[in-house]
């Protein structure tokens, strides 16, 4: 606070009653607090701008670039207002696939994710969230965002499926996460996925591209001395991201046709789908045999056809998902009825050689 506020009480003026004195004190305290808050805000903004300019200079030296994006400082509320909306089908998907309980506030989940942003790039600018500013790690954060702008000279694309988009995000975020550490002079090493539980699976799924993409970026960096080859040739599936040797071998997968509007969920989603409800060791083994899939969600339920590398892999998945459904619901004839915590539906699991087909029919509540 640049100015001191002093209170003088004129004892020669008896006409100032106690009420007026209290009101005056309250007003002055309010002014004082406002000055402190504004002073703190301006101080933080000055620190942000100074560190930002230094980070841009260091990044351009490292990448031999001339990036100079405009800086915008915003607050969490602004971020939530910009991107807090979502499509209802997205919420139904996560609830239908048992990653969120039926009564969970998806809106709060989205706002929780958005509220944790420290910085991000958008329309050529870099935005910094004031409340999340951490002076110790800020420059590394800016290196990360500048690398995203540097990536724009490369065509990092996907086939638009859930799996493909996660693979694309892994290349983008893995590259930026590693390069930011390299520029900052920080140590780096492979990371491990936390133990999956019902309460954290949805949130860890959102973080997965940062973790698995980072591990892939390390492998590429150790082989080539940079990550450019990864963003020039991004992985096509999360299988390639989760198993770097399959990325270097350019291992593909079986294309499955199920119907119009189908999606591909991929190995990563199988891991989280199972890992939220059964032992992680079982989920890892069951997911690793993935060789392609097709998924359709509509108003009446969903169907998911998954291809595996061998019949043995398909059987492993079949028993893992059957174990999962027996925990979530009750056996009813050829299927399982889910009624309690999760979206009410009847699940049928059918093994067919190297394939497993799961069919869901939503139940009336």
The answer to whether residue 40 sits within a structural domain is no
The answer to whether residue 181 sits within a structural domain is: no
The token duo for 104 is 């969970």
Q: 167-195: per-residue pLDDT in tens?
A: 999 999 999 999 999 999 999 999 999 99
| pLDDT over threshold 90, residue 260 | yes
Residue 314, in any domain of the structure: yes
User: pLDDT tens, 285-331?
Assistant: 999 999 999 999 999 999 999 999 999 999 999 999 999 999 999 99
Domain assignment of residue 38, yes or no: no
Q: Which token pair is 28?
A: 């002055």
| Strand ranges across the sheet with 355-362 | 290-298, 301-308, 355-362, 345-352, 335-338, 330-332
26 is a domain residue: no
204, 130 contact by CB (below 8 A): no
Q: Average per-residue pLDDT in the chain?
A: 89
Q: What percent of the chain has pLDDT over 70?
A: 88
Listing DSSP states for 263-305 in one string gives B--HHHHHHHHHHTTS-HHHHHHHHHTEEEEEEEEETTEEEEE
Q: How confident is the model at residue 2 (pLDDT cuts 50, 70, 90)?
A: very low
* pLDDT of res. 9: 31
Q: Give yes or no for residue 42 having a pLDDT over 90.
A: no
The total number of structural domains that make up the chain? 1
pLDDT at 344 > cutoff 50: yes
For the chain, what percent of residues have pLDDT higher than 90?
79
Locate 73 and state its tokens. Answer: 């400082």
Question: Is residue 21 pLDDT above 90, yes or no?
Answer: no
Residue 356, SS3 per DSSP: strand
**Cα separation of 110 and 190, whole Å?**
28
Question: pLDDT band for position 358 (50/70/90)?
Answer: very high
Residue 40, Ramachandran bin (φ over 0: left; ψ between -120 and 50: alpha; else beta)? alpha
Residue 20, pLDDT score: 58
Range of the domain at 310: 253-365
Question: Element (H or E) spanning 44, and its range?
Answer: helix 18-63
The answer to whether the Cα torsion of 340, 342, 346, 349 is positive or negative is negative
**pLDDT of the residue at 19:** 53
Q: How far apart (Å, rounded) are the C-alpha atoms in residues 311 and 289? A: 10
- 26 falls in which pLDDT band (50, 70, 90)? low
Residue 235 lies in a domain: no
In a domain, 341, yes or no: yes
Tell me what pLDDT residue 34 has. 47
Structure-token match 């509540």, residue found: 365
Task: List the single range of 68-72, 116-120, 163-167, 283-287 with lowest mean pLDDT.
Answer: 116-120
Q: How far apart are CA 226 and CA 179, in angstroms?
A: 8
Q: What local confidence, expressed as pLDDT, does residue 38 receive?
A: 45
Mean of the pLDDT values across residues 334-347?
A: 94
End-to-end CA distance of the chain: 59
Query: If you average pLDDT over residues 50-71, what whole number do you get?
Result: 97
Does residue 11 lie within any of the structural domains?
Answer: no
């Amino acid at each position: 606070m640049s100015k001191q506020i002093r209170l003088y009480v004129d004892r020669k003026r008896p006409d100032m009653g106690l009420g007026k004195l209290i009101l005056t004190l309250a007003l002055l305290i309010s002014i004082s607090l406002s000055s402190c808050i504004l002073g703190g805000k301006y101080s933080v903004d000055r620190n942000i701008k100074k560190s930002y300019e230094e980070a841009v200079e260091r990044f351009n030296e490292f990448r031999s670039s001339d990036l100079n994006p405009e800086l915008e400082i915003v607050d969490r509320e602004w971020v939530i207002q910009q991107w807090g909306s979502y499509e209802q089908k997205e919420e139904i998907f996560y609830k239908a696939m048992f990653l969120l309980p039926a009564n969970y506030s998806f809106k709060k989940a989205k706002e929780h994710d958005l509220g944790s942003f420290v910085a991000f790039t958008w329309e050529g600018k870099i935005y910094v969230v004031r409340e999340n500013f951490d002076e110790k790690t800020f420059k590394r954060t800016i290196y990360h965002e500048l690398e995203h702008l540097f990536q724009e000279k490369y065509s990092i694309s996907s086939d638009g499926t859930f799996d493909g988009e996660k693979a694309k995000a892994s290349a983008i975020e893995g590259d930026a996460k590693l390069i930011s550490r390299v520029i900052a002079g920080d140590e780096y090493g492979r990371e491990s996925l936390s133990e999956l539980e019902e309460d954290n699976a949805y949130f860890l799924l959102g973080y997965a591209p940062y973790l698995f993409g980072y591990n892939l970026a390390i492998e590429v960096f150790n082989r080539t001395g940079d990550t450019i080859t990864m963003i020039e040739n991004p992985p096509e599936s999360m299988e390639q991201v989760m198993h770097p040797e399959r990325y270097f071998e350019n291992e593909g997968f079986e294309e499955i046709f199920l119907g119009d509007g189908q999606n591909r969920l991929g190995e990563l989603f199988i891991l989280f789908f199972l890992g939220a409800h059964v032992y992680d060791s079982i989920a890892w083994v069951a997911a690793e045999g993935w060789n392609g899939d097709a998924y359709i969600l509509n108003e009446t339920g969903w169907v998911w056809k998954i291809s595996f590398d061998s019949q043995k892999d398909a059987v492993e998945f079949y028993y893992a998902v059957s174990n999962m459904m027996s925990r979530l619901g009750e056996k009813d004839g050829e299927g399982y009825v889910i009624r309690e915590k999760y979206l009410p539906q009847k699940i049928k699991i059918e093994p067919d050689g190297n394939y497993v087909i799961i069919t869901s029919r939503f139940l009336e509540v």
